[in-house]
Amino acid sequence: MTEVREITIVVKWSGKEYPITDLTDQDTVAVLRHEIFKMTQVRPERQKLLNLKYKGKPAEDNLKLGNLELKPNFKLMMVGSTEADIEDACQRPDDIGEVIDDLEDNDEEESLQNSAIYLAKIQKRIKDYTITELNPPRPDKHLLVLDIDYTLFDHRSSAESGAELMRPYLHEFLTCAYEHYDIVIWSATGMRWIEEKMKLLGVSSHPAYKIMFYLDSHAMISVHTPDRGVIDVKPLGVIWGLYPQYSAANTIMFDDIRRNFLMNPRSGLRIRPFRQAHLNRSTDKELLKLSKYLKDIAINCKDFSKLNHRKWEHYDPRK
Ligand SMILES: [Mg+2]
């Protein structure tokens, strides 16, 4: 008789980790899905298990876990929504993100930018955070910093392939932007998760553009704001400290959550979130329109800090 070996798999889903301990190498992928459902309430048919592969293909439900030769405490990346979330999302008005995340023009923004404690935190990141450059910066380029979730990718909807979750025109957008901008991806998740997603979307290997580097949650800093409590933000100073050729004059950052650029409010453009990919795939033209904006300002504007990205749709190069 074969010896039964216990297996622990850590499921990463929606920013949290769920250790699944009640498994052996004789259990099938279907059993694993069932266990995941018990932990997360994401139904088995809605679970997309991104890195569970057998011979290069997604592992079938009847395959035994022992055949997958997983490392101890293997981290399994999952995308999927609970029934409650799906119901919720269907009733959610489109602009709720705006209500929650929008910041008014006020002094808080400016004071945070220059507060010594945050500058010290940024200095610490500059010193301690290791950037793995995938491609070198190019002379005389601007800098574009992009969020992933809901900016380039709908990470909550279920789908069969990365292409279905990808925001429309993503590759066209990046190809066009690359002409004038060095491109950085910055997501509030972990680096392995970012790498998986970029691979899934075909961004990491696209022939028409290159990504300079990825930044993950460890490059972010926590700030305490009077109105919002403690939040994590993406300070561009971390990049500017390491790459002095970029500054507020030539950097723009896209995120669907405005508070992520609380440290650099003038450099941030809040993009409309891309949610419910299955419903909005045929109508979402945000990236197409933003390609034009990026090109227009790169050619016509010498100092990006003079721009008001809240009005990007009305930008007129002649004014
Ligand atoms: Mg996002």
The pLDDT tens digits for 229-272 are 667 899 999 999 999 999 999 999 999 999 899 889 999 999 99
Asked if residue 212 and residue 144 are part of one domain, the reply reads: yes
Per-residue confidence (pLDDT) for residue 5, from 0 to 100: 79
Per-residue confidence (pLDDT) for residue 101, from 0 to 100: 47
* Angle of helix 170-178 versus helix 286-300 axis, rounded to 10: 10
Distance (Å, rounded) from C-alpha 235 to C-alpha 176?
A: 25
Q: Domain containing 64 — which CATH number? A: 3.10.20.90
In the chain, how many domains are there? Answer: 2
Asked if residue 126 and residue 11 are part of one domain, the reply reads: no
Ligand 1 centroid vs 269 CA: distance in angstroms?
A: 12
Per-residue confidence (pLDDT) for residue 208, from 0 to 100: 98
Asked if residue 286 and residue 146 are part of one domain, the reply reads: yes
Ligand 1 centroid vs 226 CA: distance in angstroms?
A: 23
Give the tens place of pLDDT for each residue, 84-94.
Answer: 766 665 554 44
Q: Under 8 Å CB-to-CB from 294, ≥6 apart: which residues? A: 144, 176, 177, 180, 181, 252
- pTM, two decimals, is 0.68
Asked if residue 121 and residue 39 are part of one domain, the reply reads: no
Ligand 1 centroid vs 273 CA: distance in angstroms?
A: 7
Domain boundary among 85, 100, 128: 85
Asked if residue 76 and residue 140 are part of one domain, the reply reads: no
Q: Which residues of the chain have pLDDT under 70?
A: 1-3, 85-117, 160, 229-230
Asked if residue 158 and residue 16 are part of one domain, the reply reads: no
Per-residue confidence (pLDDT) for residue 1, from 0 to 100: 46
CB-based burial of residue 117 (10 Å sphere; 0-12 exposed, 13-18 middle, 19+ buried)?
A: exposed
What is the span of the domain harbouring residue 36?
A: 6-85
Distance (Å, rounded) from C-alpha 319 to C-alpha 314?
A: 11
Asked if residue 196 and residue 63 are part of one domain, the reply reads: no
Buried-exposed string 286-306: b where 16+ CB fall within 10 A, e elsewhere: bbeebbebbbebbeebeebee
Distance (Å, rounded) from C-alpha 234 to C-alpha 221?
A: 7
Q: Domain containing 244 — which CATH number? A: 3.40.50.1000
* Angle of helix 116-128 versus helix 107-114 axis, rounded to 10: 50
In a domain, 319, yes or no: no
Give the tens place of pLDDT for each residue, 131-146.
Answer: 999 999 999 999 999 9
In a domain, 92, yes or no: no
